[in-house]
Amino acid sequence: MSHYQTREGAFESVLKDHLLDRGYKVVPNSEFDRDTALFPSEVLAFIQDTQPETWTKLENLLGERTGEQVITDLTKWLDDHGCLSTLRHGFKCYGRRLHVAYFRPVHGMNPDLQARYEANRLGITRQLHYDPEHPKRSIDTVLSVNGVPVATAELKNPMTGSDVNDAIKQYEEKRNPQAPLLRFKKRALVHFAVDPDEVHMTTRLAKGSTTFLPFNKGIPLEGGRSRKGGNPPNPDGGYKTAYLWEEVWEKDSWMEILQRFIHIDTEEIKKDGITVEEDETIIFPRYHQLECVRQLVASAKEEGPGEDYLIQHSTGSGKSKSIAWLVHRLVSLHDDQDNAVFDGVVVV
């Protein structure tokens, strides 16, 4: 695409069409249950396809109530344990473990695990009416994994008079953080504000107290419109932010982020030496952190141990977390022959 399309809907369509060409599927708005904040038919279809033996055992116990009971138990589990833990470890229904996602195995020695990974259903829904209390309100784009919403995005096009700052303002002023879809940690884990030039993101919606961080490549824009640095021109002539859907949301990348990058930090709040509460924060990698870790992992996989690398960083760039993500990846890194690249990893 050599020029910007002028309608906001066209911007959304470019994003959606790219994802559909890369293995995503459209999940209709009509399949969304606003109360459970799930796409129940997608959840049940995935479980039946990938775990038929467990499904049959549940069906022998529950009969026609099986689907309803699975969704009820999944909803409660998500509310109690959170979306991230449920995606990674599954949930229990009548004492039986069910999985709502399978992640890419670290090596290729188990074809069954690879087949289950390939069975994941990545979905995109546009203009999702998400709020039980305000059924006419909608969010531009929602991404889901096997019927479980994991991300939302508000898309703006400056050619129609709105930009990324308007998307941020929309999240702060017009999105109910207590709606089931948007409750912190329970369903959608990250929220993106996107226009053709910039991307910003947050992991907790809190009205006017919401904090958005840039998810840009870090090149300042002319004219001062960007608050925290923008993006270089797209070498292919398209939108500057195309890396979001072409790289970050690409299936293997997105599933790896859900499996290995997102994590929850817990801080104890003490009074008189006694822990009175815990404050949780969902950590989502910034673009430069994601790029740094992936480049180092790819190089280590190809070149093996013994190479030297220099990473240039600035104050506040999140280098400690980048190191932690890198160590986590290197510990389980295998080469193309399924041999472990490192026996152990030491951080000094």
Cβ–Cβ < 8 Å for 227, 76: no
pLDDT tens sequence for the chain (348 residues): 334 444 556 888 999 999 999 999 999 999 999 999 999 999 999 999 999 999 999 999 999 999 999 999 999 999 999 999 999 999 999 999 999 999 998 877 789 999 999 999 999 999 999 999 999 999 999 999 999 999 999 999 888 889 999 999 999 999 999 999 999 999 999 999 999 999 999 999 999 999 999 999 976 554 444 445 689 999 998 999 999 999 999 999 999 999 999 999 988 776 777 766 778 999 999 999 999 998 888 888 888 888 888 887 776 677 888 888 888 888 888 888 788 888 888 888
pLDDT computed for residue 219 by the predictor: 63
pLDDT computed for residue 3 by the predictor: 44
Q: Which two tokens stand for residue 171?
A: 């999240």
pLDDT computed for residue 334 by the predictor: 85
Cα angle at 115 between 114 and 118, to 5 degrees? 90
What is the DSSP code (8-state) at residue 312?
Answer: -
270 burial via Cβ count (<10 Å: 0-12, 13-18, 19+)? exposed
Q: Which two tokens stand for residue 220?
A: 């300042």
- Number of DSSP helices (H) and strands (E) in the chain, helices first: 11, 11
The model's pTM is: 0.90
Closest to 84 (Cα-Cα) out of 27, 130, 145: 145
With tokens 């160590």, the residue in question is 327
pLDDT computed for residue 56 by the predictor: 98
Give the span between the Cα atoms of 260 and 330, in whole angstroms. 12
pLDDT computed for residue 8 by the predictor: 55
In sequence order, the β-bridge partners of residue 145 are: 122, 148
For 94, residues 6+ apart whose C-beta sits below 8 A from its C-beta are 58, 61, 62, 69, 73
